[in-house]
Amino acid sequence: MGAVGFVVELISDSGIGSQSKKSNEVELRVDWSKAEARGPKMRARALWLTVLVLALYAWTIGAPIAEAQVIRGTIRDARTSEPVMLAYVGLLAPGRELVVAGLADRYGGFSLNAPTAGSYFLYVARMGYKSVIDGLFEVGADGVFELQVGLTPAAIDLEDLVVEAEERKSKLELVGFLERAAIGRGTFLIGEDIQAIALDKITDAFRNIPGLDVVTTRPLVGVESMRNPEIRIRRGGGECSPTLYVDGAIMALGSQRPEGGPDRIQRGVRPDDFVTPASVEAVEIYVRPSETPLQYEARGRCGVVLIWTYVR
C-alpha cells in the first residue's frame, strides 16, 4: 500500500470511529431518558411494597396485643382488710398448670394478662396466710375480669420449746420462817401487816404481842432521852431482855433482867436502832426459851426476836 492509500485508510478509520462514538452517545442518551421515565413508576412500586409490609406487620403483631385478656384485683387480709403486699399470684389452666404469674404490689394490687380467652383458676399464696385456689373464672376475648381476694392468716407451727429453770425459793422459805410459822410456836408477823400499823418504828408493831412489852418511857434530858423504845419480855412477875437477831446475826444480847444505870443504855434491846418498818419482810417472836428454834440461842434464857429484812 502506498502512502496515499495509508492516509486515506486512516481517515476512513477515523470517520468510522467518530460515527460509532456519536452513535453510542445517542444510544446512551436514549437509555438515560428511558430510565428517567421509569423512575417515578419504580418509586411508586417501592412505596406500595413498604405500605404492604407495614400492614402485614400490624396485622400479625398488633392483633394479639389488642386481644389481651386481663385478670386484675386486690388482695387483702380477711380479718383486718389491710392490703397484703408481695403476695404470689398465678393463673392456672383447667388442668392446674401454671400459665402466668406475678407479685402483688405494696397496695395488694395485681394484674395478669391471660394468653388467650378461656377459663382460669386464680392461685394466691403469701407466707403467714393460707393459700387460695379459686375459680374457674371465664375470661372473654379482650376482656377484663376484676377480683377482690381475702387471705386468712395461718397459724405458724413452731418447734416445741422446753424451758428449764431452777426452782428459786424465797428468803423466808430458805431461812425456815414458813416452816416454823406452819408449826405455830411463837408469834409471826409479815411485812404487809407490819407496815400497815408501824409508820416509822418497828416497835409499833410489837405493842399487842402477848408477853412482850414496849417501853417508851425515857428521861426528858440526857443521852437516854434520844433512845428508841426498848422491848422487854414479862417473866414470872418480872421482866427480861430478849436476844435480837437481824437476818440471822445477833444484834443485841438478851439478859435475865433489864439492865439498870449505864449498862441499860448500852445493852437495852431496841430493834429500831437496826431496822425500819419498810425494810422488814417478817418477824418471829419467841417469849419462852422452850419455843425458841434450836439454831437460835436464847441468851439469858429470855426468849428471842428474829427480824428478816428484804435484803437478799
What's the pLDDT tens digit per position in 141-176?
Answer: 877 888 899 999 987 767 777 777 666 788 999 999
> What is the rounded CA–CA span in Å between residue 124 and residue 101?
10
Q: Are 89 and 124 in contact (CB under 8 A)?
A: yes
> What is the rounded CA–CA span in Å between residue 102 and residue 274?
76
**pTM (2 d.p.):** 0.46
Stronger pLDDT, 181 or 217, i.e. the higher one: 181
Q: Are 234 and 213 in contact (CB under 8 A)?
A: yes
∠ CA 175-177-180, rounded to 5°: 125
Of the candidates 253, 203, 210, the residue with the CA atom closest to the CA atom of residue 230: 203
Number of CB atoms found within 10 A of residue 193's CB: 13
Rounded mean pLDDT, 246-273: 72
Residue spans of the domains in the chain: they are: 69-151, 171-309
Superfamily of domain 69-151: Carboxypeptidase-like, regulatory domain (2.60.40.1120)
Contacts of 135 (CB under 8 A, 6+ apart): 92, 119, 120, 121, 122
Rounded mean pLDDT, 210-214: 92
Residue 309, Cβ density class (10 Å: 0-12 exposed, 13-18 middle, ≥19 buried): middle
CA dihedral 305, 308, 309, 312 (to 10 degrees): 150
Strand 304-309, strand 243-246: pairing: parallel
pLDDT given at position 173: 92
Sheet holding 98-103, edge to edge: 98-103, 88-92, 118-125, 132-139
Confidence class of residue 29 from pLDDT cuts 50, 70 and 90? very low
What single-letter DSSP state applies at residue 153? B
> What is the rounded CA–CA span in Å between residue 195 and residue 277?
6
Q: How many CA atoms lie within 13 A of 28 on its CB side?
A: 6
Please check the confidence at residue 50 and state whether its pLDDT lies above 60.
no
When mean pLDDT is compared across 13-17, 141-145, 298-302, the lowest value belongs to 13-17
pLDDT given at position 152: 93
What single-letter DSSP state applies at residue 96? -
Stronger pLDDT, 233 or 255, i.e. the higher one: 233
> If you write DSSP's letter for every residue of 25-75 in order, what string do you get?
HHHHHHHHHHHHHHHHHHHHHHHHHHHHHHHHHIIIIIHHHHT-EEEEEEE
CATH code for residues 171-309 = 2.170.130.10
Please check the confidence at residue 265 and state whether its pLDDT lies above 50.
no
Q: What are phi and psi of 196, to 5 degrees?
A: -75, -25
